[in-house]
Structure 1
Amino acid sequence: MWGWVPEFQNPERLWWLLLLPALIVIYLILLRLKGRVALRFTNTGVLGRVVGSQRRWTRHLAVAMSLCSLVALALAYANPLGTEKQPRERATVVMVIDVSLSMSADDVAPNRLSAAKQAATDFVQGLPTSYNVAVVSMSGSPSIVAPPLTDRGAIERAIGAMELSDGTAIGESITSALRAVDQAPAGDDEDEPAPAMIVMLSDGTNTEGPEPAAAAAAAAERDVPIYTIAYGTQNGFVDIDGQRENVAPDVEALREIARATGGESVQADDVASLNDAYRDIGSVVGYEEVRKPITAQYAFFALGFAVVAALGAVMMAARWPR
Structure 2
Amino acid sequence: MSAGDPGLLGGLVTGFLAPARLWLLLLVPALAAGHVLSARRRRAAALRFSAVPVLRAVAPRRGGWRRAVVPVLLLAGVAAAVVGVARPVGQVEVPRERATVVLAVDVSISMRATDVQPDRLTAAQESARRFVAGLPPRFNVGLVAFAGSGQVLVPPTTDRSLVARGIDGLELTSYTGIGEGLYTALSAVQQAPPDPDDPDAPVPAAVVLLSDGETTVGRTNEDAAAAAVEAGVPVSTIAFGTPGGIIVQDGVPTPVPVNEAELAAIAGATGGQAYEAESAGELDAVYADIGSSIGTVLEEEETTARWTALALALVVAAAVGSLLRSGRLSS
TM-score by structure 1 length?
0.71
Shift of the alpha carbon at 1:174?
1.1
Q: For the structure 1 residues 152 and 296, does the alpha-carbon distance in structure 2 shift closer, same or farther, using more than 3 Å as the test? A: closer
- Mapped to 2, the partners of 1:132 and 1:225 lie a distance apart of 16
Query: Who is 2:166 aligned against?
Result: 158
Equivalence map 1:1-322=2 (5 Å): 1=8, 6-8=13-15, 14=19, 79-190=87-198, 191-297=200-306
Unaligned 5+ segments in structure 2 are 1-7, 30-73, 314-331
Question: Do the aligned residues in 2 keep the contact of 1:84 with 1:289 (CA within 8 Å)?
Answer: yes
- Mapped to 1, the partners of 2:137 and 2:104 lie a distance apart of 19
Query: Who is 1:58 aligned against?
Result: none
- Mapped to 1, the partners of 2:232 and 2:83 lie a distance apart of 32
Q: Between the two proteins, what is the percent identity of the paired residues?
A: 42
Question: Do the aligned residues in 2 keep the contact of 1:8 with 1:78 (CA within 8 Å)?
Answer: no
Question: Do the aligned residues in 2 keep the contact of 1:14 with 1:75 (CA within 8 Å)?
Answer: no
Shift of the alpha carbon at 1:196?
0.9
Q: For the structure 1 residues 242 and 297, does the alpha-carbon distance in structure 2 shift closer, same or farther, using more than 3 Å as the test? A: closer
Question: Do the aligned residues in 2 keep the contact of 1:88 with 1:288 (CA within 8 Å)?
Answer: yes
- Mapped to 1, the partners of 2:24 and 2:219 lie a distance apart of 60
- Mapped to 2, the partners of 1:119 and 1:72 lie a distance apart of 42
Question: Do the aligned residues in 2 keep the contact of 1:81 with 1:293 (CA within 8 Å)?
Answer: yes
Unaligned 5+ segments in structure 1 are 25-64, 305-322
Q: For the structure 1 residues 186 and 74, does the alpha-carbon distance in structure 2 shift closer, same or farther, using more than 3 Å as the test? A: same
- Mapped to 1, the partners of 2:259 and 2:268 lie a distance apart of 15
Q: How many residues align?
A: 268
Shift of the alpha carbon at 1:19?
10
**RMSD over aligned Cα, in angstroms?**
3.5
Q: Deviations over 1:247-288 (max 9, x none)?
A: 111111112222222222222222222222222222222222
TM-score by structure 2 length?
0.69
Letter in 2 for 1:193: P
- Mapped to 1, the partners of 2:312 and 2:124 lie a distance apart of 54
Question: Do the aligned residues in 2 keep the contact of 1:205 with 1:249 (CA within 8 Å)?
Answer: yes
**1:136 match: secondary structure:** strand
Letter in 1 for 2:232: D
**1:96 match: secondary structure:** strand
- Mapped to 2, the partners of 1:168 and 1:219 lie a distance apart of 19
**1:145 match: secondary structure:** strand
Query: Who is 1:59 aligned against?
Result: none
Question: Do the aligned residues in 2 keep the contact of 1:7 with 1:82 (CA within 8 Å)?
Answer: yes
Q: Deviations over 1:10-42 (max 9, x none)?
A: 5xx647768999xx9xxxxxxxxxxxxxxxxxx
Shift of the alpha carbon at 1:211?
2.0
Shift of the alpha carbon at 1:180?
0.7
- Mapped to 2, the partners of 1:288 and 1:276 lie a distance apart of 20
**1:278 match: secondary structure:** helix
- Mapped to 2, the partners of 1:111 and 1:76 lie a distance apart of 53
Bigger-Rg structure (1/2): 1
